[in-house]
């Protein structure tokens, strides 16, 4: 267990290193005003190309800390790709009242449990988009960066019946942390549940009995915010439900980077992991050339490979599979997603404040000035965006 001075120092470093995305870019997103009880108190934004036919796919995109939906869209290029390939994009957006640094609360149990908190808000947004725009329930996907990646992992775990695929960029495994100290330790690659325990938590996050979403995982080797070991934990967690062991995969080079693939017993690609050599914390981009997409910015890193395009191709919604032509892996990935889904409209309720007792003893076990230390911890946590 780290002592209190180290914890506060790391919090201060995070706060000092925060880089806010420039907001002078064109915002092409619209607001989804009505979508349910919204217990997570999130904002919903979306992009639908002109003349989008019924039965198009939907991609849900979760931004990282300090980012907005519009800034992440501008950097990643998801709405531009949607216009090119013909699908809709939903951008849930965190609010400062929930998290000062605009991080999705992936480490708060009430927000990552099925039909509760932020997870339910995102589910309600999806249902509203599908119903309003006549989208294909069999082709709903989700992706996210950092805290957004960890929240995407939570959505895939708690609603595997909803998604045909997911992509997690510099994120963390579902159930890897449930407190603020655990969140910091997991981000740094310290501790965490065993492989078997991670697999158990995923399997028990819902009552799902059908096939599971296919998963794309992206990680930089020089990431000092979310340690690369978290990508390995994600692979291990999803190997269980896909029954894809180490013997069912291969390794290849793509755009000069390492791609590992794991297949199920039928030979379908169900897990892929991209390891980006020398890349820090962020989403991999390729902004130049005919296939360039997105714009470089803090946490949006131009490293010569477009995660947005590669992820969409893995899901078969870009290129050959973009218009819904039959693809071996697309329908097989999650046939249960084609069944009717409930409209998740829960009873309206207020969002509980997340304030921990100021008198808690510091994590190093000392008892000196508990009230003063508690206040210092709270102030630091709020400054880092990890506490209200």
Rg (CA), the chain: 20
Amino acid 336: pLDDT = 38
Q: How confident is the model at residue 353 (pLDDT cuts 50, 70, 90)?
A: very low
**CA atoms within 13 A of residue 294's CA, in its CB half-sphere:** 26
Are residues 35 and 58 in contact, defined by beta-carbon separation less than 8 angstroms? Answer: no
pLDDT at residue 57 above 60? yes
pLDDT at residue 359 above 80? no
Amino acid 248: pLDDT = 65
Say if 15 falls within a structural domain.
no
pLDDT at residue 51 above 90? yes
Say if 12 falls within a structural domain.
no
Amino acid 247: pLDDT = 66
pLDDT at residue 301 above 80? yes
Mean pLDDT across 176-180:
95
Q: What share of the chain has pLDDT > 90, as a percent?
A: 72
Mean pLDDT across 113-125:
98
In angstroms, rounded to a whole number, what is the distance separating the alpha carbons of residues 35 and 122?
9
Q: What is the CATH number of the domain that holds 179?
A: 3.40.50.1820
Lowest mean pLDDT among 131-135, 275-279, 307-311, 349-353: 349-353
For residue 190, give the nearest of 376, 385, 10 by alpha carbon.
Answer: 10
Mean pLDDT across 47-75:
97
In angstroms, rounded to a whole number, what is the distance separating the alpha carbons of residues 239 and 248?
10
Say if 387 falls within a structural domain.
no
Q: How confident is the model at residue 387 (pLDDT cuts 50, 70, 90)?
A: very low
pLDDT at residue 201 above 90? yes
DSSP letters spanning 79-136: HHHHHHHT-EEEEEE--TTT-TT----TT-GGGSSTTSHHHHHHHHHHHHHHHHHT--
The structure tokens 């002592």 sit at 3
Q: How confident is the model at residue 14 (pLDDT cuts 50, 70, 90)?
A: very low
pLDDT at residue 37 above 80? yes
Separation of first and last alpha carbons in the chain: 24
pLDDT at residue 270 above 80? yes
Say if 22 falls within a structural domain.
no
Amino acid 354: pLDDT = 43
Say if 3 falls within a structural domain.
no
Say if 177 falls within a structural domain.
yes
Question: Interior CA angle at 250 toward 194 and 308, to 5°?
Answer: 85
Measure Cα distances from 70 to 44, 120, 232, 273, 384 in Å: 11, 22, 30, 27, 22
In angstroms, rounded to a whole number, what is the distance separating the alpha carbons of residues 150 and 217?
11
Say if 354 falls within a structural domain.
no
Mean pLDDT across 52-62:
97
Rounded to a whole number, what is the largest CA-CA distance in the chain? 66
- Domain encompassing residue 198: 27-337
Higher pLDDT residue, 83 or 349? 83
Q: How confident is the model at residue 260 (pLDDT cuts 50, 70, 90)?
A: very high
pLDDT at residue 234 above 70? yes
Q: What is the mean pLDDT of the chain?
A: 83
What is the domain count for the chain? 1
Mean pLDDT across 262-289:
96
From 71, 79, 146, 306, the catalytic residue: 146
In angstroms, rounded to a whole number, what is the distance separating the alpha carbons of residues 104 and 40?
10
Lowest mean pLDDT among 36-50, 173-187, 200-214, 245-259: 245-259
pLDDT at residue 339 above 80? no
* Active site annotation includes 196: no
Say if 373 falls within a structural domain.
no
96 alpha carbon, distance to own chain's centre: 18
Element containing residue 215 per DSSP (H, E): strand 214-220
Amino acid 245: pLDDT = 79
Amino acid 249: pLDDT = 77
pLDDT at residue 373 above 90? no
83 alpha carbon, distance to own chain's centre: 22
Amino acid 198: pLDDT = 97
């Amino acid at each position: 267990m780290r002592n209190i001075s180290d914890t506060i120092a790391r919090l201060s470093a995070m706060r000092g290193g925060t880089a806010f995305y420039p907001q002078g870019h064109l915002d092409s997103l619209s607001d989804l005003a009505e979508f349910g009880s919204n217990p997570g108190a999130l904002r919903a934004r979306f992009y639908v190309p002109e003349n989008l036919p019924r039965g198009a796919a939907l991609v849900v995109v979760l931004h990282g800390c300090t980012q907005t939906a519009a800034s992440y869209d501008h950097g990643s290029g998801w709405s531009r790709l949607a216009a090119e390939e013909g699908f809709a994009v939903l951008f849930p957006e965190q609010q400062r009242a929930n998290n000062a640094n605009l991080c999705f609360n992936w480490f708060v149990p009430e927000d990552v449990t099925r039909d509760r908190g932020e997870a339910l808000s995102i589910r309600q947004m999806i249902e509203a988009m599908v119903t309003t725009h006549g989208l294909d329930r069999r082709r709903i996907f989700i992706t996210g960066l950092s805290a957004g990646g960890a929240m995407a992992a939570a959505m895939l775990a708690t609603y595997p019946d909803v998604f045909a695929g997911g992509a997690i960029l510099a994120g963390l495994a579902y159930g890897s942390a449930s407190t603020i100290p655990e969140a910091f330790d997991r981000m740094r690659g310290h501790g965490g549940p065993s492989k078997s325990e991670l697999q158990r938590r995923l399997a028990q996050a819902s009552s799902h009995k059908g096939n599971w979403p296919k998963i794309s995982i992206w990680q930089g080797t020089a990431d000092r915010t979310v340690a690369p070991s978290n990508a390995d934990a994600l692979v291990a967690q999803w190997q269980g439900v896909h029954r894809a062991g180490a013997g069912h995969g291969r390794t290849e080079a793509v755009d000069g980077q390492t791609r590992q693939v794991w297949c199920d017993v039928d030979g379908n690609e169900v897990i892929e992991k991209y390891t980006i050599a020398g890349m820090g914390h962020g989403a991999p981009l390729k902004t130049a050339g005919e296939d360039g997409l997105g714009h470089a910015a803090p946490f949006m890193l131009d490293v010569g490979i477009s995660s947005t395009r590669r992820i969409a191709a893995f899901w078969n919604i870009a290129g050959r599979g973009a218009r819904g032509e039959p693809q071996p892996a697309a329908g097989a990935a999650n046939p249960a997603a084609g069944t009717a889904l409930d409209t998740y409209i829960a009873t309206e309720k207020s969002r509980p404040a997340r304030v921990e007792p100021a008198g808690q003893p510091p994590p190093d076990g000392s008892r000196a000035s508990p009230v003063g230390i508690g206040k210092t911890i709270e102030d630091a946590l709020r400054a880092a965006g990890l506490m209200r």
